[in-house]
Every structure is written in structure tokens, then in C-alpha cells.
Chains A and B, each alone.
Chain A
Amino acid sequence: MELSSGSPGRVVAIAASSGGVAALGEVLRALPADYPWPVIVLLHNSDAYPGSRLDQLLGRACALPVREAEARLPLAAGIVYLAPAGYHLLVEQDLRFALSVDQKVAYVRPSADVLFDSLADACGAAAVGVILTGSNEDGAAGLTAIRARGGLAIVQDPSEAQAPQMPEAALRLASAEVLDLAGIGVRLAALPGAPA
């Protein structure tokens, strides 16, 4: 796979639910301003933050520009994309975003299962799926799909997660690296320089 920069790269997708804003902030803070890959962030109920818009909230925590993902736009390196509230977010084979209002999956829309499944199809082994705190089971099946295509799976240590259910569900289904939030930030930041 090649990203728009022309260099081989990966796509990182991070999903979180309850307790997710703080957790996402801590992970994104670790990424340098010259991060060479796109980062997709999916937070359930992100419309529950009126007045303090999530892009601004995360943008303050993070050296990378934070934007809402738009249908048909190509994924670009070094940008944090937010899944819009109320829509499923998918990645097409040509590495552009797509949206759908199909029914909820795992009781949520956007669903990490939908995003991760599409990422597994589009990126194969170049996909990186990350599951953080959350009190449902969304993302477990999607993370399994990413692993099945040879991608990398990282799950927040349930014992430190504000809501452990989502990490626990993911670990029941998929083999993954288990790290605390600080460790996830370090791992993602170091990944571009690590041998493939």
C-alpha cells in the first residue's frame, strides 16, 4: 500500500467510548507533528459534547491537525480524522473515506467494527487498530478482522481503563498487544521508525 506521500505507510484507527476523550487526548499527545500516517479517531456519542467541539478539544492536546472525516476525501498523512457523529465511517480500497447511515452495529453508529472491517479490507497488513476505554463491545469483531489480514492490534490494559468492557471484549476475540495509555502513545509514535 502507498499513501499519498508516495512512501509506504500504515493507517492508524483508534476507537473509544465512555472515558474516551481523556484517553484519546493522552494517546494523541504522544504523536509528533511530523507523524507520517493518517490517524482515524472514532468516539461513540461524540455529539454529546456540544459547545466544546471535539476537534478543538483534541486539537489542543495534539500536535497534529484534527479534522472531521468527509466522504470521498483521500486520507492524508499527519492528520487526525474524527468520525462524524451519527454516521458509520468506512475506508475505501482507494484510501478515501466513505460514510453510511446503515443501521447501528453493536448498538452504535459510528461503529468501530464497521471502520475496522473496512480498514482491514482496504489496507490489509498496513492497518493498525487500537481499542481504548468503553462500556460496550464494539470494535472486537473489527479488530479480529484487522488481525486476520495481518494488521496490528493494540488494546488498552483493561485494568487501567475507565470502562474496561470494550478492551476486555476485544481481548476475548482478538490477539493484541496490551498496553497502558502512555505505552500506546509511545508505541504508535515509534511505529513508523520500527522495522516492518
Chain B
Amino acid sequence: MAEGDAEEREILAFVQALKRLHGYDFSQYAPASFKRRLRALRARCGADSIAGLGRRLEREPAFLRQVLSGLSVPVSEMFRDPWVFQALRRDVLPVLASYPRIHIWQAGCAHGEEVYSLAILLQEEGLYDKSQIFATDFNDVALEEAAEGIYPAASARTYAENYLQAGGRGSLSQYFHARYERIKFEESLKRNITFAGHNLGTDGVFAEVQLILCRNVLIYFNDTLQDRVLRLFRDSLVHKGFLCLGAKETLARTPVERDFECFDAQARIYRRGSA
């Protein structure tokens, strides 16, 4: 137990140092998975303790990049949970089509896999030219990578299968170029995407949107931060706007539960009510 308590203290000190030195605040992350990532980072860096990671951060500012990529960005895939993208294509986009301009917020876009999935969806439904996607993350390193749109070629097969299961109208390969061990998505897919820094823990409403995608982000937050973010989403959506969460995330038992109605239970798509 004493050993565990010592580690808890080191984690707390590390989180405080990261906030003090660089302004990144992980204090409201769900502790168990955060601890696991921190331990993995410690092992990967060959540090003897989490306190050792903190000391390195103090004397080596460039270490931040490695810390951030280890701590904040889960790996995703394109068209992950294909049935969700199928539901968006079939049931949500036709509603969005009635707006003269479509504004979409992808919150916590990480490496951007879902942003490009969304752009392809809009393109194939003939809606992309009147759409604007705001892809935000608080992690500048992830945003840079998302804006590049480069992924390992080894993933292409899974992505392509997901794309077809999601109702893709062509072949995913028409949207990227394969080179060496990498695939790079077409520049033109980015034409209506704005990548921007936004911190769900501290920043506020920046646009009024008709659809928010935020999948598998809230599971990493504690209750306080989750509730803050859900209120932010509520306040950013137009009347009857859509919120799409991760397959195991829910508005049930949250403070905004009554502000939304369930639109598609399996795909976890909710719709802003009039409350």
C-alpha cells in the first residue's frame, strides 16, 4: 500500500508540473487509464520512476512532445464502428442537407481519422461544398498530425473494410495516395476542415453547429470534466442539432440528459431538444 501511495503522490506532482510548465492540465482525467499511460510512458522512456519523468520535464522542455503523445491521444481508425457512420449517412446527413450551410464540430479529433471519414461521407452525399468542419484538440502535436492526414499503410485494409461497411459509395483508395509505408489523404479533402486548438477543460463555445462528433473522448474524463463538456456541447448545438458519442458513452445519468432526446440508441446519436 505504501508503495501505491508514493506512486499516487508522484503522479499528482507530475500532473502539477505539466500544468505549471506547459499549461496542459490532466487533473480531471479518469485516474486508472491515465495512470496506465503514465506508467507506459515511464517504461518507454527508461525512467526509474514517475518522479523521474517530472525531473526530465523540468530540465528538458522538448520532452513535452513525447509526454503529450504518450498521454493524451488514443489510437483510432477510419470509420470505426461502421454502423455509426452508416447511421450518420442514412439518417443525419439528409437532415443537415436542409441547412444552407452545415457546421460540424469534431471535438477531440486526435490524429484525425474520424475527421477524414466525415469529410468523405459529406463528399459522397454531395454536401461537402457547403460544409465546414471544425476539428479541435487541446494537443498541438496531435493537431499537427491530424492536419497532415498521413497514416500507416498497414491500417489501410481495416479502414477500407470499415468504409465499405459504412456504406461507402466507391473505394477508399480513391481518397488517398499510398507511398512507402504510408497513406496520405488527398489535400482536397481538407478544403473545408479547420484544425484548431480548443481545450474542452477550459475553453468555451466558439461556434453554433448542427452536429458534434465526440467519440471515445468522454470515457477518459472524470465526472466533473465530462459534465462540463456535455454542457458545452449542449450550448454549441442549434435547436434539433445532433450529438454523436462513442459506442459505450451515454447521456444517461448526466446533467444534460433532459436537454436531449435519443435519436439512434445503437449509434449513440442524440438530438438537442427544446428544453
Contacts and interface: CB of A to CB of B under 8 A. Distances in A.
Given A70-B248, A71-B248, A101 B36 contact: no
Interface in B6-58: 30-33, 35-37
Contacts of B250: 70
A92 B4 contact: no
Nearest to B39: A117
A84 B248 contact: yes
A118 B31 CA distance: 10
B219 interface: yes
A98 B32 contact: yes
A99 interface: yes
A114 B36 CA distance: 8
A90 B248 contact: no
A88 interface: yes
A92 B32 contact: yes
A93 B74 contact: no
A56 interface: no
Given A71-B219, A103-B75, A90 B1 contact: no
Contacts of A100: 33, 36, 74, 219-220
B2 to A, nearest CB: 11
Contacts of A86: 247
Interface in A32-79: 70-72
Given A72-B223, A149-B4, A102 B36 contact: yes
B35 to A, nearest CB: 7
Given A91-B32, A124-B4, A99 B75 contact: no
Given A101-B74, A101-B216, A121-B32, 9 more contacts: A70-B248, A72-B253, A86-B247, A90-B33, A92-B30, A98-B32, A101-B246, A102-B74, A121-B4
A12 B143 CA distance: 41
B248 A102 contact: no
A69 to B, nearest CB: 9
B125 interface: no
B75 A90 contact: no
Contacts of A87: 219, 248
A99 B36 contact: no
Contacts of B249: 71
Contacts of B192: none
Nearest to B76: A101
B137 to A, nearest CB: 16
Given A72-B253, A103-B75, A149-B4, A98 B33 contact: yes
18 contacts: A70-B250, A71-B248, A72-B223, A84-B248, A98-B30, A99-B219, A100-B33, A100-B36, A100-B74, A101-B75, A101-B76, A101-B216, A101-B219, A103-B74, A117-B36, A121-B32, A124-B1, A149-B4
A189 to B, nearest CB: 28
A90 B31 CA distance: 10
